[in-house]
Amino acid sequence: MTTPDGTSSADLPSVRLGEASQRDRRWTLASLFSWVVALIFFAPIAWIAMSAFKTTGQILSVPPLFIFQPTLENFTEMFQDPKIPKFFFNSVLLSVGSVLIAIAVSFLAAYSFSRFKPPGTDFLMFLLLSTRFVPAAAFVIPFFQLFGILNFRNTYVGLIIFYVMFSVPFSVWILKGFIDGVSQRFDETGLVNGASRAHVIFRVVLPQVKPGLVAAFVFNIIFVWNEFLFNFQLGGTDTNSIPVALFTALYQGGAVNWTYVSALGTAYVLPLAVLIYFFQKYLLVGMTFGTVRGEV
Amino acid sequence: MTEAVIKSKQPELIQGKTGKSAPRKAKSRFSSNTLWSGGLLVPVLLFFILMNVVPTIWMLGLSFYDYTLTSAKGMEFIGFDNYTRLLNDGPIQLAISRTFLFMVLAVILQTLLGALIGFLFWRADRMPGRRLALTLLFTPMVLAPLSSGLFWRLLLDPVFGLINYFISSLGFEPVNFLTNPDWAFTTVLLVDTWMWTPFMALMTLAALGSVPKAELEAAQVDNLSMWQRLIHVIIPYAKFIIVLGILLRTIDVFKTMDLVYLMTNGGPGDRTELIAVGLYRLAFQSFNLGYSSALAVLLLFIAIALTSIYLFVLNLRARKELKDQS
Amino acid sequence: MSRKFMINSHESGITAQLKGRRRGFTAIATVGIAASLVLAGCSSGSDDASSGGDNPLTGSTATNMQGKSLTLGYSRIGGWPPSAAPEAMFPAFQAYAKENYGYDVDLTFAEAPFGELFQKIAPTLAAGSQEFNIMIVDSQWLGALAEPGWIVPADKIYDLNPELDIEPFSSLVASTYQVYPDGSGQRWGFPQMPDTQGVFLRLDMLEDPANQAAFEAEYGKPLPTTYEEYEEIMMDDFVEIVAFFNDQDNGMYGTALQYSKDYDFFSCAYYPFAYSRGGEIWNPDTNQIYGVLNSDVNAAAMEEFVGLKKYQPASFATQGIGEVVDLFTTSQAFSAFQWLAIGKFMIAPELEGKVLAIPLPKFEGPDGKPKIVGAMGGQPWVVNSFNDDDHMRVSVDFLKWWYLPETQDSFILENGGLPWSKEGLNNETYLNSAPYVRPFKYMLEEGRSVDFWHVPEYAQMLAVQQEAWNGYAAGTVSSAADALEYTAAKQQEILFNSGRSEEPPPEGTASLTLQ
């Protein structure tokens, strides 16, 4: 259904379509099975989360312990190491910082692509997407040489710039889709009424693509948050994020430090789990890089 | 009428119409529009050139050199030698074909399972706590692949792992998931399936959501069986988004690295050595920058080909929609 | 209620690409040229420290570092306790530097597991960075670090600071941690943590009279229980003991060795089986591998090594250093072949007093006499050649402090370190400080251990053999001979391509795979 009437299809309906309101809910065979499936998929993570509250001996116990005296020691120990809070700080700074910048620049570009269709738009959109589809290892070598020359290695600036580029392709795709969904009549009306182009962009179009901004934000955060290879190679002691911490401090006394892995791994996935709970309606648009929109 | 809306072509349609009705405005704003269209692109272009074009050129350039970081020899221009070597490199070719096999199996498995699960959740649209259940279902796909690899190493441990505990309590012999050559590849495949089936379930849900309600209701009135409904009503509408999902998975499987590196390190032997891991080894274990760049260029071409297919399908649909509308 | 699904499509297609190509190419070319200019302008070189009076390689004097404050960066092997010790001991260096030279110094470090630390530091050095002023590296990396000029020749520092040049216990110290190219006598590294191989046994199980009686009844000879008896034990006899204690139904494995594909785990565990029987891995003079490594002796040794799997968990093929520690410390293995440097962690608190550490059992050598040649482990310090003068001074000061007797005392007696000097290994306090020091000394005697290649191609060569050999252990490669044949051909190709060997690999090596 097209929307020439000017209704912005970028506004995702505020009612959660896939989810009935409270009183309509009921247990059916399908819903029971759905829950079982969800729990099966979550079980491995739940087990690791449980392990985070165990001692090493309890984790390695045969048979596995389902009932045990939980301990917070792994977490207190983890956060007592001054490096861990620093790694968390780096993870947050790098992901939030770079994604915000990426969204800002992507929004401007997406607006231009959507409204002016400058020559080469399609080619550039294509390139953006395809470079993001190459295995990361392909680009590591040129990047570390480039970063050496620019003196970007192990600096926040360098890594943020890198992650901005990492986030731009999907952001442009997501936002262009949303801006396309805002009728040009808004722009036309604004301009006819004497508003400046800047006013149209920031006051008229921007507020209408908020869902797109949120989707782009949430999904790029997930990608940057989980990124390992580039942070490992381009970052350093000052700028490493949690995946690198998880990897480099994996062993202790020669053996895999399972309490560390489970405590840090759990603490690290928790924010993302919360994020997808609250922003579930943006999941689809995010995971398809803005090429499919809608709700589940 | 379909409710799946193809957006990208629309602005042009609208623009075409409005353009005709107000030609004078378009003319007077011509230069300012050019300025705006270019100006808005500047930041992204800057990032794109610095962080994308330059590294790509660099990579291309390196691929023509014999250059090992740790060798005192320095760089030596060797033309296409790295590429001819690639054509003759048994282990690399094996890794590429193994990756394609992995890709095909993973995508089939994930699509089928995902479709089932998606369908289940679609039927259960009034289930209590649906949002929470979906969150639990989707968590595996937002878990860092690196964490996932580590977590599964613990879960699959033959001695103290949870999975083998269940297997032995069911009366079976414990399985050496990561060491047994008959199992390792399957295990990695299954873990990848665990991570990404939720994605295909998500796509299935979206696809089912794109089936117009009216059509479904009509099918119900006509008393079609579930199977008939599936074949005649649901699939014609749903197939497109599912195809997109399949393509996205295809592209993504091709990149699988962290998971394998942490879980099996490509082993036992070379059983789970996927091409992204192979590339990483060439680049960072051997520091063979020239040769690894040649492989990177090859993978870049594969990625470009896959992206083209993806966008081709998107456009196919867009054209069809446009035709239907006109 | 309606659900809306929107597909943002995008015209890509060949036409779009063609449209964009011309413009794109010009831009690309421009950027490319600019980038290469930048690259050319930045080729960095480190000035050789002048040999004048105030040479930074001499370290600090009483005055030239007064009042300064700086940070020393060091790299270390993640989860490898001996390389974490300098961090724990650092406050003593801070006090030493303040007192003697009047400067303040802090420490930062980066760590990564064995296989990945080199990946971490090499790019920084290639970029001419002094992120890591002083580095703990694995001995095999010496060539890769020395050839591109990334590290300061140790000889230069020794010339200016003769007190650092301490007499080692045996020539193994220099040949493993210091010299590159092999046999040249040129030194690049400073011993940090020496290491040799041994076996850890459950003394409490050996001393159990019931076990002794049962063993005697079964094998008609007494069960050896003392270090002295085990020092001379033959592998075949040792395997009998392993078999005796192997009680898998009750969760006790006879032994644990390393077969993992990670880093050099399989290789180092396997080498003693080959070396001791006279097997060779290459000809170091001609850099020839094919025809040397793929020998019958080596194949038989590998079969023997992998044959020990029957006394180990079914997942033996993923056992690395860590897995072996886990098996032994959780009382799931009676014995464990392990690096002695990690002894402190093999003897977990609950195993205190219950562990006997011994040298590797002997094999029948080529001359029919009992012989053991283990693999050398351990790591040297190396100094970054891109250090600025101040950091160079601090790095040298640090080394001077590191080799002070009181520092070594703290390293060995409190932090699980091992000595390597002639004096240190004759120090009774050190020898009796832990059960693993004596076997360590035994294995460090001339000829009892040997390190493998130090050439820059080591990582590539190592990856080939780890994959093939682990494949044989796991069963993806049908025979040890095949695994060795493949390895020898591929490694010959690597050395031939890099110009290190004149011997070309056999026909068709490039397309050879493990399938």
Average pLDDT for residues C126-153, to the nearest whole number? Answer: 93
How many separate domains does chain A show? 1
Instruction: Please check whether residue A220 lies inside any domain of the structure.
Output: yes
Whether C141 is covered by a domain: the verdict is yes
Last residue of a domain, one of C375, C402, C435: C375
Instruction: Tell me the CA end-to-end span of chain A in Å, nearest whole number.
Output: 19
Segment 166-225 of chain A within 8 Å of chain B by CB: 168, 172, 176-177, 180-181, 183-185, 188, 191-192, 197, 201, 222, 225
Least confident among A167-181, A251-265, C44-58, C188-202: C44-58
Q: Do the Cβ atoms of C474 and B179 come within 8 Å? A: yes
Who contacts C299 (Cβ-Cβ below 8 Å, separation ≥6)? C479, C480, C481, C484
- Residue C463 covered by a domain: no
For residues C186 and C214, state if they share a domain.
no
B80-325 has which fold? MetI-like fold (1.10.3720)
Is residue C76 domain-resident? Answer: yes
Neighbours of chain A (3+ CB pairs under 8 A): B, C
- Residue B30 buriedness (CB in 10 A; 0-12 / 13-18 / 19+): exposed
pLDDT per residue over C396-424, tens digit each? Answer: 999 999 999 999 999 999 999 999 999 99
Task: Summarize pLDDT for C467-502 with one digit per residue, the tens.
Answer: 999 999 999 999 999 999 999 999 999 999 989 999
CATH number, domain containing residue C207 = 3.40.190.10
- Is B284 in the A-facing interface, judged by CB distances under 8 Å? yes
* d(C-alpha A238, C-alpha C109), whole Å: 10
Listed in sequence order, the DSSP H helices in chain A are 29-51, 56-59, 73-80, 83-115, 121-132, 137-150, 156-180, 184-192, 197-199, 206-208, 210-226, 229-234, 242-248, 258-278, 283-287
Gap between the Cα atoms of B155 and B149, Å rounded: 10
Of C36, C456, C474, the CB nearest to B269: C474
Residues A44, A269 contacting (CB under 8 angstroms): no
**Are C356 and C394 in the same domain?**
no
What residues in B contact C479, CB-CB < 8 Å? none
Residue A23 domain flag: no
Contact state of B268 with C8 under an 8 Å Cβ cutoff: no
Residue C5's pLDDT band (cuts 50, 70, 90): very low
Nearest CB neighbour to B209, from listed A27, A51, A294 = A294
Range of the domain at C393: 56-195+378-445
Give me the pLDDT at residue C428, please: 95
Quote the pLDDT of residue C14.
35
pLDDT band at A23 (very low <50, low <70, confident <90, very high): low
Mean pLDDT of A60-71: 88
B268 with C470: Cβ contact below 8 A: yes
For residue A5, tell me if it sits in a domain: no
**Residue from A211, A180, A205 nearest A281 by CA:** A211
pLDDT band at C31 (very low <50, low <70, confident <90, very high): very low
Residues in chain B with pLDDT values less than 50 = 1-27
The verdict on C205 and C190 lying in the same domain is: no
Does residue C35 form part of some domain? no
Nearest to C470 among B94, B267, B314 (CB): B267
Q: Indicate yes or no: CB of C7 within 8 angstroms of CB of B7.
A: yes
- C330 vs A: CB within 8 A: yes
Number of domains composing chain C: 2
Task: Flag whether residue C333 sits within 8 Å of chain A, measured between CB atoms.
Answer: no
pLDDT at residue A128 in the model:
87
Say if residue C208 is in the same domain as residue C190: no
Does residue C205 share a domain with residue C105?
no
Hey, how many other C-beta atoms are within 10 angstroms of the C-beta on C42?
13
Nearest to A81 by CA among C430, C176, B222, C109: C109
Instruction: Compute how many other C-beta atoms are within 10 angstroms of the C-beta atom of residue C507.
Output: 8
Q: What is the CATH number of the domain that holds A171?
A: 1.10.3720.10
pLDDT of residue C30 exceeding 70, the answer is: no
Judged against a pLDDT cut of 50, whether residue A1 lies above it is answered with no
Structure tokens, C158: 């020794």
| pTM of the shown model | 0.87
- Mutation target for B interface from C324, C467, C507: give the one with most B CBs within 10 A: C467
Question: CA B48, CA A172: separation in Å to the nearest integer?
Answer: 12
Distance from CA of C180 to the nearest CA of A (A): 27
Point out the residue among C5, C317, C474 whose CB comes nearest to the CB of B3.
C5
- Measured between CB atoms, does C21 come within 8 Å of chain A? yes
Residue of C424, C271, C463 lying closest to C360 (CA atoms) = C271
Percentage of chain C modeled with pLDDT above 70: 90
Owner of token pair 């159990």: C208
Strand duo A255-256 + A251-252: pairing: antiparallel
Burial class of B217 by CB neighbour count within 10 A (0 to 12, 13 to 18, 19+): exposed
Chain A contact for B75, CB < 8 A? no
Question: Per the domain annotation, does C189 fall within a domain?
Answer: yes
Is the preceding peptide bond at C181 cis, omega within 30 degrees of 0?
yes
My answer on whether C183 and C207 are in the same domain is no
d(CA A250, CA C398) in angstroms, rounded, equals: 28
| Domain edge (last residue) among C313, C340, C375 | C375
Tell me, yes or no, whether C366 and C321 share the same domain.
Answer: yes
| Residue A215 counted as domain residue | yes
Domain boundary among C375, C402, C437: C375
Are residues C3 and B209, on separate chains, in Cβ contact within 8 Å?
yes
Mean local confidence (pLDDT), C85-103 = 96
Q: Which of C4, C325, C384 to mutate to test the interface with A (most CBs of A within 10 A)?
A: C4
